[in-house]
Chain A
């Protein structure tokens, strides 16, 4: 048991070097702002720009004086241009919100779109939705930026190998109609489509052209799950999983909090059962069975490590255990590793104790696995309780078989016309390259995609679709749960909605082409028919329509569905994967941010660090680390530092790729994200990361997301040039002076290495700091831990009578005193809040190179800490933003008083006063202040700033006028050389206060909500006035689990976190 080193329970770590106290590493994290080394500037390829000699200097000086003189002579005339005819609904300066829906393939969210002067600037969740309940995710938040993507195709065009010739709709319609002719074998290839009206348009099209067929596939397939439902319950559908009703959740490789089917919905349900109420302490038990650390896995109480090829055996093992104990037959099982075997049999026991109150799910694209999982749920009486079918989900519909068939047809020249609709098979299928070649056999190829992606490049006609925010539409994400899409801006480019195009091409009689908005009329007519047919209330259609467009969502009464399991378990047993003997196996997974690649062109999502690996701008090979049992790690293939390159050989294909040492990665396995390495994804996404779609294999008609023919070379040593991993940026590392000796020591190092200091640091927790950054408890010992916490906090608070600003308390108590509460038990680390913050506060995108130099600008970061078992740790996520300390250490070091305290307790930042000394950032114990090293948002335009930081091209990302439309007009765009940080969304505070004043009433909780709070799918963040005794925040502040990060330094932060509670079952580890 030497290798089973278990860290003391008070230890948290972020990385192996952290855990081993590597001195180099400690030095690295000590320097908080990582000043740019002069060598890195000199070796910079743009160094030429900085070359100045004396004469140039004089020239610049002369120009500067001249320009300054001229500038002071005359103030330029500014114009105020009013409307000619002002729309009634628009009042310049006041935001309008419209209910709509975000849809991209199977991703769905009901949203409210905030528009200012007619342009969408922010997306909020729609609380009326029964599915998403006001939650969002990072992709939804970032959608508003993709609207202003200058890489979108601007008009209908003809395409010849990427050479676009602009055309117009009339010409292109005629040509396409002529090309489609009387029919022939037409294939419409799309991602999952959930719009009933769009599907009706498709059916009109296929009726007109009897040879036409609609094929759907998903970039990351759930085909096996759908086919299993077909076999077990007679219908191809995704069940309505209820995580909020499950006491025990067993997930086989399904990242239901990050990417699987409906993560926003599931996260909301999941968090409901993870919050701790002190009156009845209970929570669900979550077991994740996987090889690599997924977002869901990191939130799990127990992880059971099995290799990708052992998944089937693990499921079969669980089935046999459950079946034999319920008196059923067993199936033959190949072995799974011993540790997992014993764990699974214990899982089976606890599942059997909770019949009807457990949930088993599976993310493997293997028919046998999926049927067995349904069978297990059936044996556990979960069908009808946690696995419901009344509101079965439509969020995945893709069929691998259909996709395969299409490929075969194309290869044998059996397809006359191919219509690509929001799909990119030349990138995101395992046979991407072959698909491109096979497309040569198709005469007419029409792309309806919005950008010139890999597939569109090969099409003859490009008929770009509207962006989601420009469209009309409806969505049926779950059966009977409808939601509507309404446009929030006039189409920016000359684009046309896909169903409109299809209806035009099939000469539909139901489309009034002369109408101002033909597809709107079509949509309305469809709903009018439905309204009449189903006798929906209210009985007046116009009222019904207006109400639902206004609300954005519409729930039909659930049609109760009686389902009976009729799956063939023995057939399933034959389809299971046999465990492989390969020394290394690789798993491919969908990343939380960029998905299957469709979001790769969105800079916000590229810059968002992966929640688990904390890498941005690219995908990295997660490799396991093992422990020698004595504070040293046995490095995998000699990899010493994250980002070191290895040569990865999968089925004979060699690639060089950066590796990252990943805790919780099973020995003998590696993992890598899909969705990167796009070849045509605009300025931002092209060539970022490496594409591994072709390494996925077709097995038994399904895409298999792992591969066993893998070799990983030893470390090649060199680190990827700009390795953009934010893991060690802004860590809260501290050194201190040992009182008795006067020697400087590192508090954390001392805690771990030198026992002499143990007494000194006792009671402090946290990562590098070994201070009270994170607190955690096991469910069974919450009560004791709360008592301990109380004592410790009392000790810390002794200092609180010492304040720098004695007069402040009087002011804080006079009016508002803003504060925040973050429930770490609800927080799943998904990163939605970080993107919401960027959108709300005009936080710039800095690009990969800048991130690699610690220059990311995010005001809100999510710190990830490991704790517990070194080889299979638990994870805690901590959103960290400005803590608005009442004794703020940053304020009193500012030489120009640019940062100071407001009467309402806000730590304010006056950008125009800041001279950029960065003293405040150095003095911030929470490391939340960000410095504008460059003019990332081009507030002024000196040529040196003119670099596209994403793609290193000649134009900065935000200097494009179209992209700048996304900026929030109420928030200053910061320029080079100033510090910025979280403001608690002060613009929202001011707006909320004004609303209350206008309505002549006191401020309520709903008036002021920060961007991170409204975006959160699990309601982990609560913001409010601490003086408001009736408010939500006040109630939450009474939670005995609350603590304040680094309370002992007496900065008097106003952000409260709750103690992280886990429900780990130690028996499963044995």
Chain B
């Protein structure tokens, strides 16, 4: 938007073309090569600057459509239009949480109050009892102390019983949840934000996780998938060079020259370091308008590089080049077979149903419990898209029953969704 990349920056296009008729800009966008051939001065200037990269021609765009695009570009550039930071939902969640804790606070308060009242009442009763006995002439009578009450058989029995009950309850609960990790949200080697990519920029989930629609695995995207965009977008809005450089260091892309590095795997660590430190340092200098490298820029570069190195290496991987080792969040046991394509392509289930609102997550967490009960429940409740797929034609009985009105819908459980060997084999 703001920087010239493979072509001129989009922002400010109107001003730059202001000295020419609007029609010229339209025809430039529709077919840049045509305008260059016609010898338009601005077109020739741009061509000399950016050739041989050719801007894609869009002969189908009408003037109105181009005007809308330009308006949008201008709006985003000037900040008058475009998505705002999604403050709403998280704010709501926070207040929601406040409410919840307020609610339990009142519960605790009532509980404490009740105990106080109980003690008070008991005190009153024992006092009265004591007075009554005194009155009856029992001189040996003493006031029962609190301690005596607490060590009384009934109370001790009750406490032991409560402890056993509580202990058993927690043990069983913990045993059931053993190995489950709902809400697990580890720090990843790259501070990749789904909120930015899927939320703000509305990139389809299937673009990166392209296995979800056709394979068992949804697939963690390969580094080259990142490069589809990040060959051009070289700095992040939040972390600048700190995070995106990790992609480059993984695959061996030199952002200084916009070229992939030959024989990247065979470079020494210091050679790799030099390439990326130059990139980080230059950008720091440029962004802070320092003119030349300073101690501050050196420090910043070193610290960023150390972070990058730490993220890309591990106990099992000593070299910087190579795959990014993400932490796996959704772990199913080995004896469970789960197929994404069955659910995404055939079942047409939205990703969010199991993964939550990933497009709002800065750090991804495990949304669903991924427990067998959770799976089974869904299989019990979900209707099969029975009429949409010819595969289900062979289920003649059910089709007949639907036709005759005997049956409203076919649940997943009706076609074997609860069978053990649906998922375990």
Contacts and interface: CB of A to CB of B under 8 A. Distances in A.
Contact of B346 (A983, A994, A1002): A994
B240 interface: no
Interface residues of B, number: 57
B117 interface: no
B293 interface: no
Interface of B: 174, 178-179, 181, 184, 186, 210-211, 214-217, 219-225, 250-251, 321-328, 331, 333-335, 337, 339, 341-342, 345-346, 389-391, 393-398, 414-416, 419-422, 424-425
Given A79-B328, A994-B339, 20 more contacts: A75-B179, A78-B327, A80-B327, A83-B323, A84-B322, A91-B211, A91-B215, A92-B217, A93-B211, A810-B397, A902-B421, A904-B416, A906-B419, A908-B420, A909-B420, A970-B216, A987-B337, A990-B337, A997-B346, A997-B391
A176 interface: no
B335 A972 contact: yes
A911 B335 contact: yes
B251 to A, nearest CB: 6
Nearest to A94: B215
A646 B228 CA distance: 74
A1027 B221 CA distance: 42
16 contacts: A77-B186, A79-B327, A82-B219, A84-B322, A86-B225, A91-B219, A92-B219, A900-B420, A904-B419, A906-B421, A912-B335, A983-B425, A987-B425, A990-B422, A998-B346, A1000-B390
A84 B250 contact: yes
A1000 B179 CA distance: 38
B4 to A, nearest CB: 28
Interface in A43-85: 72, 75, 77-85
B290 to A, nearest CB: 34
Interface in A7-25: none
A1029 to B, nearest CB: 10
Contacts of B415: 814-815, 903
A82 B211 contact: no
Given A997-B389, A998-B341, A82 B181 contact: no
Contact of A911 (B219, B390, B424): B424
B323 A82 contact: yes
Contact of A994 (B328, B342, B424): B342
Interface in A77-120: 77-86, 91-94
Nearest to A993: B391
A902 B224 contact: no
Nearest to B331: A78
A908 B220 contact: no
Nearest to B400: A814
A93 B217 contact: yes
A816 B394 CA distance: 8
Contacts of A1027: 394
Interface string A911-945: 11100000000000000000000000000000000
A127 B397 CA distance: 36
A910 B420 contact: yes
A1000 to B, nearest CB: 5
A94 B214 contact: yes
A240 to B, nearest CB: 43
A281 interface: no
A432 interface: no
Contacts of A86: 222, 224-225
Contacts of A815: 394-395, 415-416
B390 A1001 contact: yes
Contacts of B389: 997, 1000
Contacts of A72: 174, 178
Contacts of B328: 77-80
Contacts of A998: 214, 341, 345-346
A994 B341 contact: yes
- Most chain-A Cβ atoms within 10 A of its Cβ — which of B215, B222, B251, B393? B222
A916 to B, nearest CB: 16
- Most chain-B Cβ atoms within 10 A of its Cβ — which of A78, A79, A906? A79
A817 to B, nearest CB: 11
Residues of A in contact with B, size category: 35 or more
Nearest to A907: B421
Nearest to B419: A902
A181 to B, nearest CB: 37
A910 B346 contact: no
Contacts of B215: 91-94
A986 interface: yes
A913 B425 CA distance: 12
B173 to A, nearest CB: 12
Contact of B395 (A75, A93, A814, A913): A814
B223 A912 contact: no
Contacts of B422: 902, 990
A776 B281 CA distance: 87
Nearest to B413: A903
A80 B188 CA distance: 11
A913 B421 CA distance: 12
A879 B279 CA distance: 68
B181 A75 contact: yes
Identify the 10 closest CB pairs spanning chains A and B, nearest first: A93-B216, A93-B215, A86-B222, A83-B222, A902-B419, A80-B328, A82-B220, A910-B420, A903-B416, A78-B328
A563 interface: no
A522 to B, nearest CB: 26
Given A84-B323, A994-B342, A1028 B224 contact: no
A1002 B390 contact: yes
Contacts of B425: 970-972, 983, 986-987, 990
A20 to B, nearest CB: 43
Nearest to B395: A815
Nearest to B421: A908
Contacts of B393: 1002
B337 A92 contact: no
B424 A912 contact: yes
A172 interface: no
Nearest to A995: B391
Interface string A784-822: 000000000000000000000000001001111000000
B67 to A, nearest CB: 39
Contacts of B324: 81-82
Contacts of A814: 395-398, 414-415
A300 interface: no
A81 B184 CA distance: 18
Contacts of A997: 342, 346, 389, 391
B421 to A, nearest CB: 4
A65 to B, nearest CB: 13
A734 interface: no
A996 B391 contact: yes
A903 B422 CA distance: 10
A86 B323 CA distance: 11
A549 interface: no
Contact of B224 (A85, A906, A1025): A85
A994 B219 CA distance: 18
Contacts of A912: 333, 335, 424
